[in-house]
Chain A
């Protein structure tokens, strides 16, 4: 082992380096311990490389800057590198040449050395019989695009469409709004060309009139069974693009707007079909229409129906208003809307429709009533004049209904622990909707868990195109309501994510967000008690079960967050470089002063994704942080095992602060449920703490985002203040 202390960037001037080196050399008997004034220079890195070659050093502790910087400089093949953050988190946020700062630096070094002693270099998981084929589920615009893009990138694609023809919803469109200046013309989508491109592509296998019977396996090795007519086909694929689309909201639920009650009330889809066939006529008597009212948000942005905006209905209706005007420029067109969401270049379309004389009404539609001859009168509240208005009798009412993702349709299942032991309380479980699309053979249910309203999304800003099942990427309106250009972009993005996935899987690496990570969880099965905690809590459904409830890990489904490791009461789940004992040893390496020294200790478990960078930012901004803290980064708070808290408290550490991401509806947790699960676990230990005559206040969890760096000193100070009130940990010195 080698310890290298950099003295640049204020470190040398702020710390007693001799004493620090002594920690490594004397306390831990590290054979190679060197300081260098500029370790990240070519000369500094060269020094380390020399030792690796000459001295046979294979585990290195670099006590310098944050592990988040200079990763390329301190990257040595086949050598375990541990970084001790002396710069951002010690000298930049604590007073120089201070006793407490020195103690902090020494403890940090101890933790680093201990970790380097215990951790092993990860050996990447090598799956067998890896496939790099991409399965595309759904042959609509998104599916066609994803398959075509996959093929263009040189990968094979398998496309499964349940209908007899490809094209999906877009095939029913007469025209689309022009995507070139002036953005106001109606154009042909040329979908037939896209269909031909896919059908004639030798890299794409198309199954029409087909459904997925089941999908077993994991990224790189999904085994898919496809039922086409009465035949069953098997395909092995590496990743999946879910592009199953959406359907229009069921208009029969909109009787308040006259659908089903009056013949001349139709949906936008019906109008599109009629326009595609020729003239727009009144269903009641087939006369060409002379006046049409469009009701936008029909059953959308409405608590009783779809609470969300479907993104396309405004522009679709504007386009259809032009159909009416093309047929008869003198026709009256009334458009009732809540907000005109004609975003981006659709604004030009909106303007054109206004210019062509359509009348717009903002406000709630109060009702639709039939008058003589099948004509209809619409009453509405016009918010702009604050009064009720009603139309003259119109020939046709068109309801712009929103979109429902197909993943939202089906029986709702809550996958529980089914815990026959009954002793463990259940962690919050996900709802899965049995929509009969993917039919996954996963312990956590047959489909992907929806994010909101049944859409197969996770957190687009942080994880574009990802679902909560690794290797399954959602695109198009099954992921979120979107228009045609967005669908094309989405499908392209998802196809590329799928390709990334198969390539990373083949290299034995995790996928986003830990793409550099070659470690994976290993289970020491002899000690497993079949409690199912890990199989239930894994946010990505990575762990299946056998019939005896033994966990069956799927390393390629794993995102390496360590939530299973945190959940396991038997602590049998470990990564080569991250495990319960490694972190346990690190916290045990902290020197806890006697009570009369009045130097309390606060252990901070900081999530690597936001909290740890926020601490770095605090240092970067030279904010002053309490000297009592000792920070241990964790992959996710979900990986926090309760035994660490017990260990820390029994060591005499006064308090434990968990810094993790926001959880709940607008979660920012990089592993979706990690911080929520940590919070849940914490709620279970207060009782235990009380039993040990320890105050539950000693453990606190705070949700922070990276932008909260300026609040961190205050958060820590406040916690330290509370601990002072509680008094020193009675276990000190035991």
Chain B
């Protein structure tokens, strides 16, 4: 028996769920959703949970991660209850639930926390650069001298390591919540290995995006460009920093430069497009923007843009602009990664594929159990 809690909907408003009471539960959203399967009915069910204030049920739900926000439901909703945006808000809420540090909730529910966190990390990064940077060569551009790899690399690894640990803990918390809802089933270890393909597939392709009916190829492609652009940049910056963070001037056809251009163009194009989209508010997915959506887009855009400037200044051999923009680039990168990856929007890179992975685990285990003969009933009992 669920005890109705009217304050839950109130609480979710800060996460962007502003229209839950407008829904009259007709279920049009669920009917038109191209991603709904018989076992996983949404968005209506989730909206009803919001209305009832069934917080525990929401916490254990995996459905919000199954929605890719094509906005079909939003266009058909007879009550303008914006089911897609409510699902988005639930993803924000769940992100805050999974996060054990509590920072996520603060970032989502308080603009002051959000802005202050960015400012603090921004200036802290500039401070660290000011303290630890190498000699400043002004005769011509020597980026590696300014930012010695023996300092940048370990700092990067440390930063990444901390973020990864936080995110992994969050994923484990998600696992506990998701797996303890609905029918309980024991999952054999072999299954975890067997289904790892599901995880990888969805992590790298986001192919469910293609099932979203409206403008599917377009949105999937943009999203995939952004994802691959980021992945390439990540690898370049971390694993191949000797190519990237170097005093040498590489030839135009050097793979590092080509890959770097790809990553820059992809990310700059997609973020610029998304910013314009959110300003125009034509597409359902762009109609409602939470402050964290803006924070993500702006930080990412500035990071990429400053990265591009560093590159341009370096190859124009303008030493001081190169160093300053590099410092700025780091000052944008740190809050972007530090706040987005484990605590807010960017964490979906993990939660979405893991949601599908956990769901698949459970389904397979349940199917296997259904195929097994019932224990406790002997053949003679059946025969007799």
Residues of A within 8 A of B (CB): 332, 334, 340, 350-351, 354-355, 357-362, 379, 382, 384-385, 387-392
13 A–B pairs (Cβ distance < 8 Å), ordered by A? A334-B4, A350-B24, A351-B79, A354-B21, A354-B22, A354-B24, A359-B51, A361-B4, A379-B1, A385-B48, A385-B49, A391-B4, A392-B5
Is A359 in contact with B22, judged by CB distance below 8 angstroms? Answer: no
With a cutoff of 8 Å between Cβ atoms, the chain A residues found around residue B2 in the complex are 382, 385, 387-390
Determine if B6 and A332 form an interchain contact, defined as CB atoms under 8 angstroms apart. yes
Interface size on B, residues (CB 8 A): 19
Residues on the B chain within 8 Å of A390, using CB:
1-4
Bound form: Cα–Cα A351–B54 in Å = 23
Choose among A340, A359, A388 the residue with the greatest number of B CB atoms under 10 Å from its CB: A359
Within B77-130, the residues touching A (CB, 8 Å) are 79
Do A384 and B25 have beta carbons less than 8 Å apart? yes
Instruction: Map CB proximity to A onto B346-366 as digits: 1 under 8 Å, 0 otherwise.
Output: 000000000000000000000
**B44–A359 CB distance below 8 A:** no
Residues of A near B4 (CB, < 8 A) are 334, 359, 361, 389-392
B56 CB to nearest chain A CB (Å):
12
**A389 — which chain B residues lie within 8 A by C-beta?**
1-4, 52
The docked-state distance in angstroms from the alpha carbon of A379 to that of B52 is 13
Could you tell me which residues of chain B, from 53 to 80, have a CB within 8 Å of some CB in chain A?
54, 79
Residues of B within 8 A of A379 (CB): 1
B257 at the interface (CB under 8 A from A): no
What's the minimum C-beta distance from B234 to chain A, rounded to whole angstroms? 42
A358 to B24 alpha-carbon distance, docked (Å): 11
**Which residues of the partner chain A approach B49 to less than 8 Å between Cβ atoms?**
385
Q: Hey, which chain A residues are within 8 Å of B44, CB to CB?
A: 384
Contact flag A388-B24 (CB < 8 Å), given A351-B79, A359-B6: no
Closest residue of B by beta carbon distance from A293: B4
Q: Is B11 an interface residue (CB 8 A)?
A: no
Nearest chain A CB to B154's CB is how many angstroms away? 52
Closest beta carbon of chain B to A363's beta carbon, Å? 11
User: Does B222 touch A at the CB level, under 8 Å?
Assistant: no
Q: Cβ of B6 and Cβ of A351 under 8 Å apart?
A: no
Judge whether B311 is part of the interface by a CB distance below 8 angstroms: no
CB distance from A506 to the nearest CB of B (A): 53
**Inter-subunit contact A340/B24 (CB<8 Å):** yes
Chain B nearest CB, measured from A545 CB (Å): 58
Cβ of B290 under 8 Å from chain A: no
Q: In the bound complex, what is the Cα–Cα distance between A385 and B4 (angstroms)?
A: 12
On chain B, the residues within 8 Å of A355 by CB distance are 21-22
How far, in angstroms, from A388 to B4 measured CA to CA in the complex? 10
Chain B residue nearest to A358 in the complex (CB): B21
Given A351-B79, A382-B52, A385-B45; A359-B3 close (CB under 8 Å): no
A611 to B255, CA, bound (A): 90
- B residues within 8 A CB of A358? 21
Query: What's the nearest-Cβ distance from chain A to residue B50, in Å?
Result: 11
Cβ contact within 8 Å between B25 and A362 = yes
In the assembled complex, which residues on chain A have CB atoms less than 8 Å from the CB atom of B23? Answer: 354
CA distance A388 to B54 in the complex (A): 12
Q: In the bound complex, how far is the Cα of B130 from the Cα of A135, in angstroms?
A: 99
Q: Which residues of A contact B52 (CB under 8 A)?
A: 359, 382, 385, 389
A355 CA to B18 CA, complexed, in Å? 10
Contact status B21-A357, CB under 8 Å? yes
Give the residues in chain B near A388, CB-CB below 8 Å. 1-2
Residues of A within 8 A of B24 (CB): 340, 350, 354, 360
Shortest Cβ-Cβ A-B pairs, 3 listed: A388-B1, A389-B2, A384-B48
Bound-complex Cα distance A388 to B48 (A) = 13
Q: How far is the CA of A508 from the CA of B12 in the complex (A)?
A: 73
